[in-house]
Amino acid sequence: MGKSSKDKRDLYYRKAKEEGYRARSAYKLLQLNDNFHFLDDPSLKRVVDLCAAPGSWSQVLSRKLFEGSDQQDRRIVAVDLQTMSPIDHVTTLQADITHPRTLQRILQLFGDEPADLVISDGAPDVTGLHDLDEYVQQQLVMSALQLACCVLKPKGSFIAKVFRGRDIDLLYSQLACLFTHVTCAKPRSSRSTSLEAFVVCQGYQPPADWTPKLDPSQSVQQFFQHCLPNGKHIAPFMACGSLESFDSDATYTSTCSTDPIATGDKHKPSLNPVQQPTNPPYKQALLLKRQGRLSRHVR
């Protein structure tokens, strides 16, 4: 999260920097929790944060699970393809969630004990080809679900980002076979112009005759083939976050205390990022530009 004019337009973006979160996504998790309270359960011990970089969801987990109490037996594991700067009380793993070895590494960190909660905010790099992007996103959700099925304890919860494309009802019906409650939730901090939403799946209860086991030679489809249906199911929809919270699509100019114009301070400076990216792809380009060696191809 860098420094830009978005500071003035996107209140969640600025609020994240003020409150020390590495990304505005933190408010999506907080608003989901306001409605579903999955982070308020005092018996919550082991949590997996999939696709976690730069780490704002892990920061929320760390604050919720550890602030104000010395909870030695609690454990948070955060996984991402990218390196993550350290976060208090969080063990970070640089790994691919679609690789079977990642499951083993998570289970090792939990001492082979099951997790209470798996959350995933995974998003692949978009190509701009909508069908392809939707397909790859769906594959990522299925990989997160596969991992969750192998690591969750009975009655555990799974929260994952989805895009409400054409085939979303199939995903809902598959989730409904594995969890007693499945809701599609849209936090107010998620732009209403985006298809993004979150499936909140509670009460993990896999079919009695199915034992989830990761086999590296099997595809995700083969893993689920004996337990998931092909029919459709409609999940209830819920908007999350109170009506007083900021609308992520609105432009605030006069009523918000964090808005420079509202506070009468037109020169209120843009805030620095909470955490600089560890190895951003633009690093090389900046270096070349400083050295005057960045040339642009002209057709």
Backbone angles phi, psi at 140, to 5 degrees: -65, -40
Complex with ligand SAM: residue 194 or 225, whichever CB lies closer = 194
Q: Identify the CA nearest to 61 among candidates 115, 105, 119, 103.
A: 119
Q: How far is the CB of 56 from ligand SAM (least distance, A)?
A: 3
Pair of tokens at residue 229: 């249906």
Q: Identify the CA nearest to 64 among candidates 81, 76, 78.
A: 76
Annotated binding site for S-adenosyl-L-methionine: 55, 57, 80, 96, 121
Backbone angles phi, psi at 264, to 5 degrees: 80, 5
Active-site residue, selected from the candidate residues 17, 28, 45, 161: 161
Q: Residues in the chain, how many?
A: 299
Maximum C-alpha span of the chain? 65
Q: How far apart are CA 52 and CA 60, in angstroms?
A: 11
Binding of residue 55 to ligand SAM (CB under 6 A)? yes
Q: How far is the CB of 29 from ligand SAM (least distance, A)?
A: 7
Which of 16, 32, 48, 52: binder of ligand SAM (CB under 6 A)? 52
Number of residues that bind ligand SAM (CB under 6 A): 22
Place of tokens 């500071």: 7
Of 188-207, binders to ligand SAM (CB under 6 A) are: none
Beta strand pairing call for 152-163 and 115-120 = parallel
Of 83-122, binders to ligand SAM (CB under 6 A) are: 96-98, 121-122
Which of 71, 82, 91, 270: binder of ligand SAM (CB under 6 A)? 82
Active site annotation includes 268: no
Q: How far is the CB of 221 from ligand SAM (least distance, A)?
A: 17
Of 139-198, binders to ligand SAM (CB under 6 A) are: 140
Which of 80, 116, 196, 259: binder of ligand SAM (CB under 6 A)? 80
54 upstream amide cis, omega within 30 of 0: yes
Complex with ligand SAM: residue 151 or 176, whichever CB lies closer = 151
Q: How far is the CB of 298 from ligand SAM (least distance, A)?
A: 33
Residue type, 78: A
Q: Identify the CA nearest to 6 among candidates 279, 286, 273.
A: 273
Q: Say what the alpha-carbon torsion angle 247, 57, 35, 201 is, to the nearest 10 degrees.
A: 120
19-48 footprint of ligand SAM as x/- string (CB under 6 A): ---xx-x-----------------------
Which residues are designated catalytic?
161
Q: What residues make contact with ligand SAM under the rule CB under 6 A?
A: 22-23, 25, 51-57, 79-82, 96-98, 121-124, 140
